[in-house]
Structure 1
Protein backbone atom coordinates (compact mmCIF):
# COMPACT_ATOMS: atom_id res chain seq x y z
CA UNK A 1 0.00 0.00 0.00
CA UNK A 2 1.24 3.47 -0.87
CA UNK A 3 2.59 5.39 2.12
CA UNK A 4 0.71 8.53 3.12
CA UNK A 5 2.26 11.99 3.15
CA UNK A 6 4.38 13.14 6.08
CA UNK A 7 2.61 16.34 7.08
CA UNK A 8 5.26 17.42 9.61
CA UNK A 9 7.97 17.08 6.97
CA UNK A 10 5.88 19.00 4.45
CA UNK A 11 5.07 21.84 6.85
CA UNK A 12 8.74 22.27 7.83
CA UNK A 13 9.01 24.71 4.91
CA UNK A 14 5.45 26.03 5.05
CA UNK A 15 6.23 29.69 4.38
CA UNK A 16 8.29 28.92 1.29
CA UNK A 17 5.76 26.39 0.01
CA UNK A 18 2.85 28.80 0.51
CA UNK A 19 4.47 31.72 -1.31
CA UNK A 20 3.67 30.38 -4.83
CA UNK A 21 0.05 29.75 -3.78
CA UNK A 22 -0.19 33.34 -2.56
CA UNK A 23 1.29 34.70 -5.77
CA UNK A 24 -0.99 32.51 -7.89
CA UNK A 25 -4.05 33.66 -5.97
CA UNK A 26 -3.10 37.31 -6.48
CA UNK A 27 -3.72 36.78 -10.20
CA UNK A 28 -7.19 35.31 -9.69
CA UNK A 29 -9.65 38.10 -10.40
CA UNK A 30 -13.32 37.19 -10.01
CA UNK A 31 -16.19 38.99 -8.35
CA UNK A 32 -17.83 37.16 -5.43
CA UNK A 33 -17.48 33.51 -6.47
CA UNK A 34 -20.02 31.16 -4.92
CA UNK A 35 -18.05 27.90 -5.17
CA UNK A 36 -14.27 27.56 -4.87
CA UNK A 37 -12.39 24.25 -4.99
CA UNK A 38 -8.85 23.75 -3.68
CA UNK A 39 -7.82 20.71 -5.71
CA UNK A 40 -4.98 18.94 -3.93
CA UNK A 41 -5.37 21.09 -0.83
CA UNK A 42 -2.68 19.33 1.22
CA UNK A 43 -2.56 20.49 4.86
CA UNK A 44 -4.83 23.45 4.18
CA UNK A 45 -2.30 26.24 3.80
CA UNK A 46 -3.65 27.14 0.35
CA UNK A 47 -7.25 26.61 1.49
CA UNK A 48 -6.70 29.18 4.20
CA UNK A 49 -5.59 31.72 1.60
CA UNK A 50 -8.74 31.03 -0.41
CA UNK A 51 -10.95 31.52 2.64
CA UNK A 52 -9.36 34.87 3.35
CA UNK A 53 -9.78 36.10 -0.22
CA UNK A 54 -13.29 34.73 -0.74
CA UNK A 55 -14.95 34.83 2.72
CA UNK A 56 -18.50 34.50 1.35
CA UNK A 57 -17.74 31.53 -0.94
CA UNK A 58 -18.37 27.85 -0.22
CA UNK A 59 -14.84 26.44 -0.28
CA UNK A 60 -14.07 22.75 -0.71
CA UNK A 61 -10.63 21.26 -0.16
CA UNK A 62 -9.99 18.00 -2.01
CA UNK A 63 -7.02 15.68 -1.44
CA UNK A 64 -6.15 11.99 -1.75
CA UNK A 65 -4.16 11.92 1.50
CA UNK A 66 -6.05 11.21 4.76
CA UNK A 67 -3.15 12.65 6.78
CA UNK A 68 -3.12 15.86 4.80
CA UNK A 69 -6.88 16.23 5.22
CA UNK A 70 -6.61 15.54 8.94
CA UNK A 71 -4.08 18.38 9.22
CA UNK A 72 -6.25 20.65 7.06
CA UNK A 73 -9.31 20.03 9.25
CA UNK A 74 -7.31 20.93 12.37
CA UNK A 75 -6.23 24.13 10.71
CA UNK A 76 -9.67 25.05 9.35
CA UNK A 77 -12.31 23.25 11.44
CA UNK A 78 -15.18 25.13 9.80
CA UNK A 79 -14.12 24.36 6.22
CA UNK A 80 -15.35 21.48 4.07
CA UNK A 81 -12.91 18.82 2.90
CA UNK A 82 -13.27 15.68 0.82
CA UNK A 83 -11.09 12.61 0.32
CA UNK A 84 -10.87 11.99 -3.41
CA UNK A 85 -8.44 11.14 -6.19
CA UNK A 86 -7.76 14.50 -7.82
CA UNK A 87 -6.98 12.73 -11.10
CA UNK A 88 -10.59 11.52 -11.30
CA UNK A 89 -12.32 14.33 -9.42
CA UNK A 90 -15.49 15.79 -10.87
CA UNK A 91 -17.74 18.24 -9.00
CA UNK A 92 -21.43 17.66 -8.38
CA UNK A 93 -21.97 21.27 -9.46
CA UNK A 94 -19.70 23.39 -11.61
CA UNK A 95 -17.33 25.69 -9.73
CA UNK A 96 -16.49 29.37 -10.04
CA UNK A 97 -12.83 28.78 -9.17
CA UNK A 98 -10.67 25.65 -9.34
CA UNK A 99 -7.37 26.30 -7.58
CA UNK A 100 -4.61 23.69 -7.87
CA UNK A 101 -1.35 24.61 -6.18
CA UNK A 102 1.53 22.11 -6.57
CA UNK A 103 -0.77 19.14 -7.12
CA UNK A 104 -1.39 18.50 -10.81
CA UNK A 105 2.23 17.52 -11.46
CA UNK A 106 1.27 14.20 -9.81
CA UNK A 107 -1.51 13.65 -12.35
CA UNK A 108 -0.73 12.23 -15.80
CA UNK A 109 -2.35 13.09 -19.12
CA UNK A 110 -2.46 16.88 -18.97
CA UNK A 111 -3.69 17.13 -22.56
CA UNK A 112 -6.94 15.54 -21.34
CA UNK A 113 -6.88 16.81 -17.76
CA UNK A 114 -6.83 20.54 -18.45
CA UNK A 115 -9.75 20.57 -20.93
CA UNK A 116 -11.73 18.40 -18.49
CA UNK A 117 -11.08 20.81 -15.60
CA UNK A 118 -12.23 23.69 -17.80
CA UNK A 119 -15.49 21.83 -18.33
CA UNK A 120 -15.94 21.73 -14.55
CA UNK A 121 -16.14 25.55 -14.42
CA UNK A 122 -19.13 27.82 -14.74
CA UNK A 123 -19.02 30.36 -17.60
CA UNK A 124 -16.58 33.07 -16.53
CA UNK A 125 -15.01 30.75 -13.96
CA UNK A 126 -11.27 30.55 -13.36
CA UNK A 127 -8.81 27.66 -13.38
CA UNK A 128 -5.63 28.62 -11.48
CA UNK A 129 -2.73 26.17 -11.47
CA UNK A 130 0.83 26.21 -10.18
CA UNK A 131 3.17 23.28 -10.76
CA UNK A 132 6.81 22.64 -9.90
CA UNK A 133 8.74 22.52 -13.17
CA UNK A 134 11.95 21.10 -11.78
CA UNK A 135 12.37 17.62 -13.24
CA UNK A 136 15.44 18.82 -15.13
CA UNK A 137 16.99 20.47 -12.07
CA UNK A 138 19.98 18.76 -10.36
CA UNK A 139 17.78 17.91 -7.37
CA UNK A 140 15.66 15.58 -9.49
CA UNK A 141 18.31 14.40 -11.92
CA UNK A 142 20.30 13.21 -8.91
CA UNK A 143 17.28 11.39 -7.50
CA UNK A 144 17.12 9.36 -10.70
CA UNK A 145 20.88 8.89 -10.77
CA UNK A 146 20.99 7.58 -7.20
CA UNK A 147 18.04 5.30 -7.98
CA UNK A 148 19.89 3.69 -10.90
CA UNK A 149 23.16 3.04 -9.05
CA UNK A 150 22.20 1.10 -5.93
CA UNK A 151 20.96 -2.40 -5.18
CA UNK A 152 17.47 -0.90 -5.36
CA UNK A 153 17.76 -0.05 -9.09
CA UNK A 154 15.16 -2.58 -10.22
CA UNK A 155 12.74 -1.70 -7.42
CA UNK A 156 12.97 2.00 -8.30
CA UNK A 157 12.83 1.59 -12.06
CA UNK A 158 9.27 2.96 -12.13
CA UNK A 159 9.92 5.82 -9.73
CA UNK A 160 11.30 8.07 -12.44
CA UNK A 161 7.88 7.98 -14.12
CA UNK A 162 5.94 9.04 -11.04
CA UNK A 163 5.62 12.69 -12.07
CA UNK A 164 4.13 14.11 -15.20
CA UNK A 165 6.59 15.86 -17.50
CA UNK A 166 5.35 19.43 -17.56
CA UNK A 167 4.35 20.66 -21.00
CA UNK A 168 5.45 23.90 -22.63
CA UNK A 169 3.58 27.16 -22.19
CA UNK A 170 2.28 26.69 -25.74
CA UNK A 171 0.99 23.22 -24.83
CA UNK A 172 -1.13 24.52 -21.96
CA UNK A 173 -2.34 27.44 -24.05
CA UNK A 174 -3.48 25.08 -26.79
CA UNK A 175 -5.17 22.69 -24.35
CA UNK A 176 -7.46 25.38 -22.92
CA UNK A 177 -7.72 27.97 -25.70
CA UNK A 178 -11.00 26.80 -27.22
CA UNK A 179 -12.77 27.16 -23.85
CA UNK A 180 -11.11 30.37 -22.68
CA UNK A 181 -11.46 34.12 -22.92
CA UNK A 182 -8.34 35.05 -20.95
CA UNK A 183 -5.14 32.99 -20.58
CA UNK A 184 -2.25 34.08 -18.36
CA UNK A 185 0.86 31.86 -18.26
CA UNK A 186 4.20 32.57 -16.65
CA UNK A 187 7.23 30.75 -15.29
CA UNK A 188 9.24 31.81 -12.25
CA UNK A 189 12.38 30.41 -10.65
CA UNK A 190 12.57 30.89 -6.89
CA UNK A 191 15.92 30.98 -5.13
CA UNK A 192 15.19 29.47 -1.73
CA UNK A 193 17.84 30.06 0.92
CA UNK A 194 18.23 26.88 2.98
CA UNK A 195 20.47 26.17 5.95
CA UNK A 196 22.63 23.57 4.19
CA UNK A 197 22.59 20.68 1.71
CA UNK A 198 20.73 18.54 4.25
CA UNK A 199 17.97 21.14 4.05
CA UNK A 200 17.52 20.38 0.36
CA UNK A 201 17.10 16.69 1.14
CA UNK A 202 14.64 17.52 3.93
CA UNK A 203 12.65 19.71 1.53
CA UNK A 204 12.14 16.91 -0.97
CA UNK A 205 11.59 14.07 1.51
CA UNK A 206 7.92 14.99 1.67
CA UNK A 207 7.48 15.62 -2.07
CA UNK A 208 9.81 14.70 -4.92
CA UNK A 209 11.69 11.97 -3.06
CA UNK A 210 8.56 10.08 -2.00
CA UNK A 211 8.33 7.84 -5.07
CA UNK A 212 11.95 6.82 -4.49
CA UNK A 213 11.67 6.28 -0.74
CA UNK A 214 8.25 4.63 -0.45
CA UNK A 215 9.23 1.30 -2.13
CA UNK A 216 12.34 0.85 0.06
CA UNK A 217 12.73 -0.71 3.49
CA UNK A 218 14.21 1.32 6.33
CA UNK A 219 17.79 0.22 5.72
CA UNK A 220 17.58 0.86 1.98
CA UNK A 221 15.92 4.21 2.56
CA UNK A 222 18.74 5.35 4.83
CA UNK A 223 21.37 4.20 2.33
CA UNK A 224 19.60 5.85 -0.58
CA UNK A 225 19.32 9.17 1.28
CA UNK A 226 23.00 9.07 2.20
CA UNK A 227 23.91 8.49 -1.44
CA UNK A 228 21.58 11.23 -2.60
CA UNK A 229 22.89 13.70 -0.02
CA UNK A 230 26.45 13.06 -1.15
CA UNK A 231 25.49 13.93 -4.71
CA UNK A 232 23.59 17.04 -3.59
CA UNK A 233 26.64 18.29 -1.67
CA UNK A 234 28.74 18.03 -4.82
CA UNK A 235 26.39 20.31 -6.76
CA UNK A 236 24.95 22.70 -4.18
CA UNK A 237 28.03 24.32 -2.70
CA UNK A 238 27.85 26.38 0.51
CA UNK A 239 27.61 30.15 0.16
CA UNK A 240 29.77 32.55 2.16
CA UNK A 241 27.74 31.98 5.33
CA UNK A 242 27.38 28.22 4.83
CA UNK A 243 23.84 28.30 3.48
CA UNK A 244 22.80 27.02 0.06
CA UNK A 245 20.51 28.28 -2.70
CA UNK A 246 17.84 25.94 -4.02
CA UNK A 247 16.72 27.01 -7.49
CA UNK A 248 13.09 26.03 -7.90
CA UNK A 249 11.29 26.72 -11.21
CA UNK A 250 7.48 26.79 -11.18
CA UNK A 251 4.88 27.16 -13.94
CA UNK A 252 1.74 29.26 -13.37
CA UNK A 253 -1.45 29.13 -15.42
CA UNK A 254 -4.58 31.25 -14.86
CA UNK A 255 -7.43 30.74 -17.33
CA UNK A 256 -10.91 32.28 -17.45
CA UNK A 257 -13.63 30.25 -19.13
CA UNK A 258 -15.67 31.82 -21.89
CA UNK A 259 -18.92 33.47 -20.85
Structure 2
Protein backbone atom coordinates (compact mmCIF):
# COMPACT_ATOMS: atom_id res chain seq x y z
CA UNK A 1 0.00 0.00 0.00
CA UNK A 2 0.97 3.65 -0.36
CA UNK A 3 1.96 5.53 2.78
CA UNK A 4 -0.79 6.41 5.23
CA UNK A 5 -2.29 9.89 4.93
CA UNK A 6 -2.30 11.60 8.32
CA UNK A 7 -4.60 14.41 7.14
CA UNK A 8 -7.23 11.96 5.91
CA UNK A 9 -6.97 9.92 9.12
CA UNK A 10 -7.43 13.01 11.30
CA UNK A 11 -10.70 14.07 9.64
CA UNK A 12 -12.39 12.01 12.37
CA UNK A 13 -9.82 12.53 15.12
CA UNK A 14 -12.23 12.66 18.05
CA UNK A 15 -14.08 9.50 16.98
CA UNK A 16 -10.84 7.63 16.28
CA UNK A 17 -9.35 8.69 19.62
CA UNK A 18 -12.38 7.66 21.68
CA UNK A 19 -11.44 3.94 21.79
CA UNK A 20 -7.90 4.90 22.83
CA UNK A 21 -9.31 6.90 25.73
CA UNK A 22 -11.53 3.99 26.73
CA UNK A 23 -8.61 1.56 26.57
CA UNK A 24 -6.30 3.84 28.54
CA UNK A 25 -8.88 4.14 31.33
CA UNK A 26 -8.58 0.39 32.00
CA UNK A 27 -4.79 0.26 32.46
CA UNK A 28 -4.23 -0.37 36.20
CA UNK A 29 -0.92 1.49 36.58
CA UNK A 30 -0.76 4.75 38.51
CA UNK A 31 2.91 5.24 37.60
CA UNK A 32 5.04 4.23 34.62
CA UNK A 33 8.60 5.04 33.64
CA UNK A 34 8.74 3.74 30.05
CA UNK A 35 5.71 3.75 27.75
CA UNK A 36 5.50 2.79 24.08
CA UNK A 37 2.69 3.67 21.70
CA UNK A 38 2.73 0.94 19.03
CA UNK A 39 1.23 2.17 15.78
CA UNK A 40 1.19 5.71 17.13
CA UNK A 41 -0.18 7.22 13.92
CA UNK A 42 -0.28 11.04 14.00
CA UNK A 43 0.28 11.12 17.77
CA UNK A 44 -3.32 11.49 18.96
CA UNK A 45 -3.04 8.35 21.13
CA UNK A 46 0.53 9.22 22.18
CA UNK A 47 -0.73 12.53 23.51
CA UNK A 48 -3.10 10.66 25.82
CA UNK A 49 -0.22 8.59 27.19
CA UNK A 50 1.90 11.69 27.80
CA UNK A 51 -0.93 13.28 29.76
CA UNK A 52 -1.56 10.10 31.78
CA UNK A 53 2.11 9.61 32.70
CA UNK A 54 3.75 13.04 32.37
CA UNK A 55 7.03 11.91 33.94
CA UNK A 56 7.46 8.80 31.80
CA UNK A 57 9.63 8.34 28.75
CA UNK A 58 7.03 7.94 25.99
CA UNK A 59 8.04 6.56 22.58
CA UNK A 60 5.87 6.30 19.47
CA UNK A 61 6.44 3.60 16.85
CA UNK A 62 4.91 3.51 13.37
CA UNK A 63 5.71 2.40 9.82
CA UNK A 64 4.33 5.54 8.15
CA UNK A 65 6.63 8.48 7.48
CA UNK A 66 3.66 10.84 7.07
CA UNK A 67 2.07 9.73 10.34
CA UNK A 68 5.40 10.13 12.16
CA UNK A 69 5.91 13.59 10.68
CA UNK A 70 2.54 14.64 12.06
CA UNK A 71 3.27 13.03 15.45
CA UNK A 72 6.62 14.84 15.76
CA UNK A 73 4.94 18.16 15.00
CA UNK A 74 2.29 17.44 17.59
CA UNK A 75 4.67 16.28 20.35
CA UNK A 76 8.10 17.76 19.55
CA UNK A 77 9.60 16.81 22.90
CA UNK A 78 9.12 13.07 22.42
CA UNK A 79 10.74 10.27 20.44
CA UNK A 80 9.11 8.67 17.41
CA UNK A 81 10.62 5.70 15.60
CA UNK A 82 9.89 4.26 12.17
CA UNK A 83 9.72 0.49 12.64
CA UNK A 84 7.63 -2.56 11.78
CA UNK A 85 6.15 -4.12 14.91
CA UNK A 86 6.75 -7.60 13.49
CA UNK A 87 10.51 -6.96 13.79
CA UNK A 88 10.55 -4.57 16.75
CA UNK A 89 11.39 -5.27 20.40
CA UNK A 90 10.55 -2.94 23.29
CA UNK A 91 13.29 -1.21 25.29
CA UNK A 92 14.21 -3.00 28.50
CA UNK A 93 12.05 -1.98 31.42
CA UNK A 94 9.04 -0.87 29.36
CA UNK A 95 6.07 -0.68 31.74
CA UNK A 96 3.28 -0.10 29.22
CA UNK A 97 2.85 -1.06 25.58
CA UNK A 98 -0.22 0.56 24.09
CA UNK A 99 -1.59 -0.32 20.66
CA UNK A 100 -4.62 1.47 19.26
CA UNK A 101 -5.94 -0.12 16.03
CA UNK A 102 -2.72 -1.58 14.65
CA UNK A 103 -2.57 -5.35 15.22
CA UNK A 104 -5.46 -6.10 12.87
CA UNK A 105 -2.94 -5.31 10.10
CA UNK A 106 -0.21 -7.60 11.50
CA UNK A 107 -0.21 -11.18 10.15
CA UNK A 108 -0.17 -13.85 12.87
CA UNK A 109 -0.51 -11.13 15.48
CA UNK A 110 -1.25 -13.57 18.31
CA UNK A 111 2.37 -14.70 18.07
CA UNK A 112 3.56 -11.11 18.41
CA UNK A 113 1.23 -10.36 21.31
CA UNK A 114 2.67 -13.31 23.22
CA UNK A 115 6.20 -12.11 22.43
CA UNK A 116 5.45 -8.59 23.66
CA UNK A 117 3.78 -9.73 26.89
CA UNK A 118 6.80 -11.96 27.50
CA UNK A 119 9.09 -8.94 27.17
CA UNK A 120 7.30 -6.97 29.90
CA UNK A 121 8.58 -6.80 33.48
CA UNK A 122 6.36 -8.23 36.20
CA UNK A 123 3.35 -5.96 36.52
CA UNK A 124 3.84 -4.44 33.07
CA UNK A 125 0.85 -4.01 30.78
CA UNK A 126 0.10 -4.64 27.12
CA UNK A 127 -3.10 -2.83 26.18
CA UNK A 128 -4.51 -3.19 22.69
CA UNK A 129 -7.63 -2.30 20.75
CA UNK A 130 -8.54 -3.52 17.28
CA UNK A 131 -11.46 -2.92 14.92
CA UNK A 132 -13.57 -6.06 14.65
CA UNK A 133 -15.64 -4.78 11.75
CA UNK A 134 -14.96 -6.94 8.70
CA UNK A 135 -18.56 -8.16 8.80
CA UNK A 136 -19.98 -4.64 8.88
CA UNK A 137 -21.59 -3.25 5.68
CA UNK A 138 -18.79 -0.69 5.28
CA UNK A 139 -16.30 -3.52 4.75
CA UNK A 140 -18.54 -6.10 3.11
CA UNK A 141 -19.33 -3.57 0.39
CA UNK A 142 -15.62 -2.87 -0.21
CA UNK A 143 -15.14 -6.53 -1.04
CA UNK A 144 -18.36 -6.81 -3.03
CA UNK A 145 -17.34 -3.97 -5.34
CA UNK A 146 -13.77 -5.28 -5.59
CA UNK A 147 -15.06 -8.58 -6.99
CA UNK A 148 -16.86 -6.79 -9.83
CA UNK A 149 -15.40 -6.07 -13.25
CA UNK A 150 -13.24 -4.21 -14.12
CA UNK A 151 -11.60 -4.27 -10.67
CA UNK A 152 -11.68 -7.98 -9.89
CA UNK A 153 -8.18 -8.85 -11.12
CA UNK A 154 -6.40 -5.90 -9.53
CA UNK A 155 -8.18 -6.07 -6.19
CA UNK A 156 -8.41 -9.79 -5.54
CA UNK A 157 -5.56 -9.64 -3.01
CA UNK A 158 -6.88 -6.48 -1.35
CA UNK A 159 -10.01 -8.34 -0.28
CA UNK A 160 -7.82 -10.86 1.55
CA UNK A 161 -5.32 -8.46 3.15
CA UNK A 162 -7.06 -8.44 6.54
CA UNK A 163 -8.19 -11.67 8.14
CA UNK A 164 -11.09 -11.85 10.56
CA UNK A 165 -9.88 -11.56 14.14
CA UNK A 166 -9.61 -14.66 16.33
CA UNK A 167 -12.40 -15.25 18.84
CA UNK A 168 -11.89 -13.87 22.37
CA UNK A 169 -11.19 -17.38 23.65
CA UNK A 170 -8.16 -17.67 21.35
CA UNK A 171 -6.66 -14.51 22.85
CA UNK A 172 -7.42 -15.79 26.34
CA UNK A 173 -5.77 -19.18 25.80
CA UNK A 174 -2.71 -17.61 24.19
CA UNK A 175 -2.11 -14.85 26.72
CA UNK A 176 -3.47 -16.04 30.08
CA UNK A 177 -0.51 -18.35 30.86
CA UNK A 178 1.71 -15.24 30.69
CA UNK A 179 -0.55 -12.97 32.73
CA UNK A 180 -1.59 -12.31 36.31
CA UNK A 181 -4.65 -10.50 34.96
CA UNK A 182 -6.28 -10.55 31.54
CA UNK A 183 -9.31 -8.50 30.51
CA UNK A 184 -11.01 -8.95 27.11
CA UNK A 185 -14.14 -7.14 25.98
CA UNK A 186 -15.98 -5.77 22.97
CA UNK A 187 -17.49 -2.31 22.58
CA UNK A 188 -19.80 -1.32 19.73
CA UNK A 189 -19.60 2.38 18.88
CA UNK A 190 -22.33 4.11 16.89
CA UNK A 191 -20.52 7.11 15.46
CA UNK A 192 -22.78 9.96 14.40
CA UNK A 193 -21.67 11.15 10.95
CA UNK A 194 -23.09 13.86 8.71
CA UNK A 195 -24.14 11.57 5.87
CA UNK A 196 -23.28 8.42 3.92
CA UNK A 197 -20.47 10.26 2.13
CA UNK A 198 -18.84 10.72 5.54
CA UNK A 199 -18.76 6.95 5.98
CA UNK A 200 -16.72 6.78 2.77
CA UNK A 201 -14.41 9.56 3.97
CA UNK A 202 -13.89 7.67 7.24
CA UNK A 203 -12.83 4.41 5.60
CA UNK A 204 -10.69 6.19 3.01
CA UNK A 205 -8.24 6.80 5.87
CA UNK A 206 -8.05 3.13 6.90
CA UNK A 207 -9.84 0.06 5.56
CA UNK A 208 -10.52 1.34 2.05
CA UNK A 209 -6.85 2.06 1.32
CA UNK A 210 -5.91 -1.43 0.03
CA UNK A 211 -8.79 -1.21 -2.44
CA UNK A 212 -8.10 2.24 -3.90
CA UNK A 213 -4.30 2.49 -3.69
CA UNK A 214 -3.64 -0.05 -6.51
CA UNK A 215 -5.99 1.73 -8.94
CA UNK A 216 -5.18 4.43 -11.47
CA UNK A 217 -7.15 7.69 -11.00
CA UNK A 218 -9.96 6.89 -13.52
CA UNK A 219 -10.41 3.38 -12.09
CA UNK A 220 -10.29 4.71 -8.55
CA UNK A 221 -12.98 7.29 -9.34
CA UNK A 222 -15.25 4.61 -10.80
CA UNK A 223 -14.67 2.22 -7.88
CA UNK A 224 -15.41 4.96 -5.33
CA UNK A 225 -18.56 5.99 -7.19
CA UNK A 226 -19.92 2.43 -7.10
CA UNK A 227 -18.89 1.93 -3.47
CA UNK A 228 -20.37 5.29 -2.42
CA UNK A 229 -23.69 4.47 -4.09
CA UNK A 230 -23.91 1.19 -2.20
CA UNK A 231 -22.97 2.86 1.08
CA UNK A 232 -25.69 5.48 0.55
CA UNK A 233 -28.25 2.72 -0.05
CA UNK A 234 -27.20 0.96 3.17
CA UNK A 235 -26.46 3.72 5.68
CA UNK A 236 -29.80 5.49 5.62
CA UNK A 237 -30.32 8.83 7.34
CA UNK A 238 -31.83 9.14 10.78
CA UNK A 239 -34.68 11.54 11.51
CA UNK A 240 -32.27 14.48 11.65
CA UNK A 241 -30.41 13.50 8.47
CA UNK A 242 -27.35 12.07 10.23
CA UNK A 243 -26.17 8.49 9.76
CA UNK A 244 -24.83 6.02 12.33
CA UNK A 245 -21.62 4.15 11.60
CA UNK A 246 -21.77 0.96 13.68
CA UNK A 247 -18.21 0.05 14.67
CA UNK A 248 -17.37 -2.99 16.86
CA UNK A 249 -13.94 -3.11 18.50
CA UNK A 250 -12.18 -5.65 20.71
CA UNK A 251 -10.12 -4.55 23.73
CA UNK A 252 -7.44 -6.52 25.59
CA UNK A 253 -5.54 -5.52 28.73
CA UNK A 254 -2.85 -8.04 29.68
CA UNK A 255 -0.90 -7.62 32.92
CA UNK A 256 2.33 -9.64 33.11
TM over 0.5: yes
Q: In structure 1, what is the equivalent of residue 17 of structure 2? A: 18
* Counterpart Cα distance in 2 of 1:239 and 1:126: 41
* Counterpart Cα distance in 2 of 1:200 and 1:9: 13
For these two proteins, the number of residue pairs brought into alignment is 256
Q: In structure 1, what is the equivalent of residue 82 of structure 2? A: 83
Q: In structure 1, what is the equivalent of residue 122 of structure 2? A: 123
Instruction: Provide Cα deviations, 1:150-199, integer angstroms capped at 9, x if missing partner.
Output: 31211111001222321111111111011000011110100001000000
SS of aligned partner of 1:98: strand
SS of aligned partner of 1:203: helix
State the shift of 1:94 in Å: 4.1
Q: In structure 2, what is the equivalent of residue 178 of structure 1? A: 177
* Counterpart Cα distance in 1 of 2:175 and 2:231: 38
* Counterpart Cα distance in 2 of 1:113 and 1:164: 16
| Superposed CA RMSD | 0.9
The yes-or-no answer on 1:142 pairing with 2:132 is no
Cα contact 1:32–1:54 (8 A) shared by 2: yes
State the shift of 1:111 in Å: 2.8
* Counterpart Cα distance in 2 of 1:37 and 1:164: 26
Q: In structure 1, what is the equivalent of residue 43 of structure 2? A: 44
State the shift of 1:25 in Å: 0.1
Q: TM-score, normalised by structure 1?
A: 0.97
State the shift of 1:37 in Å: 0.4
Q: In structure 2, what is the equivalent of residue 162 of structure 1? A: 161
State the shift of 1:31 in Å: 3.4
State the shift of 1:4 in Å: 0.8
* Counterpart Cα distance in 2 of 1:192 and 1:108: 28
Cα contact 1:38–1:46 (8 A) shared by 2: yes
SS of aligned partner of 2:162: coil
Q: In structure 2, what is the equivalent of residue 250 of structure 1? A: 249
State the shift of 1:135 in Å: 0.3
* Counterpart Cα distance in 1 of 2:17 and 2:110: 27
- Worse overlay, 116-125 or 13-22: 116-125
* Counterpart Cα distance in 2 of 1:40 and 1:196: 29
